[in-house]
Chains A and B, each alone.
Chain A
Amino acid sequence: MSAETTTPATETVSLYDVDNPAPVIAPPRARTKKTPKSTRTNFELYGWLFMRLSGVVLVVLVLGHLLIQLVLDGGVSKIGFAFVAGRWASPFWQAWDLVMLWLAMLHGANGLRTVINDYAERPKTRFWLKNLLYAATVFTVLLGTLVIFTFDPNIR
């Protein structure tokens, strides 16, 4: 009664038998002696909480930002050096952009960190991907902060 969809392996020359079974596929990173011990810190708790709180603030900041930049008052065509210089003359917009830069970068970096933790299988891949991520985050945040604080509208 049984109909085989694939040719059974017994018909071909088999490498495996009772005394020499095929290796089974181990679960991803099974818990071994090398597995790091628990950290006993609240880092993940604060990380989780930060994602929720910064997410709520970012909804206001980013949607407001997009509205001002792309929709209101002529839309995207109005954006130029003069427009940016005019906005950053006000401490309010400086603070807005600064908070948005920091929250968005940290929020995105933390999100990518969890993605790397989930999907990078080998410890070395994990390590280097995360180092790359942290380097990019620090660079972007510092450069952006520097520009916001040292912006000179009379630059030539």
Chain B
Amino acid sequence: MDESVKEIEYISGQLKVGEIVTYQDISHQFGATYKKSKVILYNFYKSNKSNFVGQFIINGVIEGSTVIKFIESEKLIEEAVEKFDKIDEIYCYSVTPKTEFSLKDFAIHNQKNVINTDNLNYYHKLGLIKGPELVPVTSFKTSKLTVAEPTKTSTTTKEVSTKPKKEKTIGLMSNYVSRKQKPADTAGSKRAADPPKYQYKSRKLENKKPEKVVVSNDLEADEFDEFDDMEVDTPAPSVPAPKTKLSDIFNDDDDDEEDITEGQKEENTKIQESEQEEAIPEPEAETKEASVEPQVEPEPEAESETQEPQEPQYDEEGYLITYNTKKPKSKPKPKPRTTTETKTEIKQPVKSAVKVTKDKKSKQPSVMSFFGKKK
């Protein structure tokens, strides 16, 4: 008993605070074996029965089956014992203050006693049964499952192989998965698949106006991956080389719906950002066309930019005025909003935006037909 002074002080201290004390608490607190802790706890309870409530566990046999029964109070133990055909052991599981404790309270209490698997030798000394050694798996082992799959069913492998070939996706394919597969490639960015990378990088290189890019793409990326591909492809036409890549991409994702979605995108981008975005590209077009191309996100914008230098020739009012006023627009967006001059500017670009959309709409089907031919 002398050895267990600290333990007894701990038990009484915890009970005074209104806490549950289990034999595992004592073991984990003082490194005592589970067996010893059970003895200490029971001895404590025996000498303090009047002040506390003891909970017990009965290990035994009822009708041929091993039964492990939790008894909430010593008062109930005799009754429970009678039901057992054979009893292997009874031990004191815990002691609580006399206030009411439910099983949930015990469950919540036990959540504090979590075994640290990094130090199992310590728990083995306490009485934890020694099981097989914990062996971490290298990251490669997880790939075994995925590698083994195609071997088992030829159908699944066929699916994968036919995937890029298929021209029509009805829309129930799990685009979602492609993101998970190549998380490292995207490196933090939530955008999916390979093709988008090129253009995103190019955008990042020119940091002038990334905010708009992020907003528009995130919205679309969350909804449809294929749409991202469409967007990303748009800057490519300005460069001759990527055309072949584009065609490949469209062959992968061919959707009849894409035409519609592009149109929707254009509308959305114009509705949401028409004032700001279109106001921005215009001055850029004046200064340098090359710089404008990478900055602009979707196709329609890029096209509009290429159109813009032509339109002033045709249109009399809008663009001439905007050019003059927008020269200082290298500044960020919020500024033009606040100034009164920008109000007039905004109104005009809106008109121009409508015109641009008309132009875009007329051009888009031609773009799609272009890709359609390549199929």
Are A and B a genuine interacting pair, yes or no? no
Binding site for B on A (CB under 8 A): none
Binding site for A on B (CB under 8 A): none
